[in-house]
A = this chain, B = another copy of it.
Amino acid sequence: MTSSRVRKEVDEALYAFVDRQRPVLLAITEDLSPMLGALDALLSGGKRLRPAFCYWGWRAAGGADGPEILAAAASLELLQASALIHDDVMDGSDTRRGLPSVHRRFEAMHRTEGWPGGAEAFGTGAAILLGDLVLSWCGEMFDTSGLSQDVLAAGRPIYDVMRSEVMCGQYLDMLEQARGTGNVESALRVVKYKSAKYTIERPLHLGAAMAGASQTDLDALSAYGLPLGAAFQLRDDVLGVFGDPAETGKPAGDDLREGKRTVLIALAHQHGSEAQREILNRRLGDPELDLEGVEELRAILTETGALEGCESLIEDFASQAYKALGEAPITDEARAALTDLTVAATARRV
């Protein structure tokens, strides 16, 4: 199956699941309609990377094609939607995938209706609850994908550890930002748990384990997935600072305003002069940072060699991933599809 075909079938499974939930919610009351509307808007975007890796993990281990595995894989997109909704609350982000973030959407609804009391608290509360609802739904969608009970049982331990890892990884990310240590090693640990395992390794494992892969097969997928995941996150970090807002769906410099302690920032800390570090410390995380400030920080990231260092790490990780992919004991069809995904996940789009 081609990448675009996988994407299309994942989308269909995802929308079909939400369409099954819709009448259940609306039977309680039409007042729940804005919750569904917010989810529909969020799911209209996204690259469906995690479902794709899960599907190809299954195929790589010899699993047969079919709508059931695509529905099980698509459930990962609900986990991701939940994480994004809660992430945006935590980061105070205004936009997501080029649209207002969920909490801003409900905040606006509160204002439009002219209700008394705090619009912001209403937006936050609604977003927390929608994220919880969608987090519950990811397990439900997986369980009702149509795969047999035995196959699902083989996948569940991985699904479970993946959820724990991503939530712990996000906590560690927040801890890094709070401590502001700016240490490359800790930043790479966050990348591992928050991104490399969650986005690539565990989705691959989930699919492969359900198709009956051995521990050796899973290890081979880790040797590919972990460096690819790291490369993917570092690419995302670079785009978060230097990327085109039209492509990232976020205003230029939003990651700088949020004060994200990425590997890119850690490298600038490590190699910067005292003056450069002072500017970094002072301006990073300033919610009022204007375009001039963004340019100033971009210049530091370039002049310290942090951008170059990050690109070189991305290259190293990507070539580790390609090498491991070449050696992995998987089907040729899966190898070709994973090669395409590797290119897409690490491509320079600055």
Number of copies: 2
Segment touching B, from A28-36, A204-212, A217-225, A262-270: A28-36
Q: Is A174 an interface residue (CB 8 A)?
A: yes
Interface of A is mostly: helix
Contact of A179 with B115 in the complex, beta carbons under 8 Å: yes
**Extra pairs beyond A86-B128, A117-B177, A128-B128 (14, CB < 8 Å):** A25-B168, A28-B165, A31-B175, A90-B125, A110-B178, A113-B179, A115-B178, A116-B178, A126-B174, A129-B171, A129-B174, A136-B163, A149-B150, A149-B153
Q: How far is the CA of A92 from the CA of B150 in the complex (A)?
A: 44
Interface mask (A107-144 → B, CB under 8 Å = 1, otherwise 0):
00010010111000110111011111101110110010
A167-B129, A178-B110 known; A172-B259 Cβ under 8 A: no
Contact of B174 with A125 in the complex, beta carbons under 8 Å: yes
Q: How far is the CA of A122 from the CA of B171 in the complex (A)?
A: 10
How far is the CB of A20 from the nearest CB of chain B, in Å?
11
Q: Is A41 an interface residue (CB 8 A)?
A: no
Q: How far is the CA of A335 from the CA of B179 in the complex (A)?
A: 55
**Number of contacting residues on A, CB 8 A?**
59
A29-B172, A172-B32 known; A131-B132 Cβ under 8 A: yes
Q: Is A329 an interface residue (CB 8 A)?
A: no
Q: Is A180 an interface residue (CB 8 A)?
A: yes
Out of B29, B135, B189, B259, name the residue touching A136 (CB < 8 Å).
B135
Contact of A167 with B133 in the complex, beta carbons under 8 Å: yes
Closest chain B residue to A126, Cβ basis: B171
Q: How far is the CA of A178 from the CA of B123 in the complex (A)?
A: 11
Q: How far is the CA of A117 from the CA of B86 in the complex (A)?
A: 20
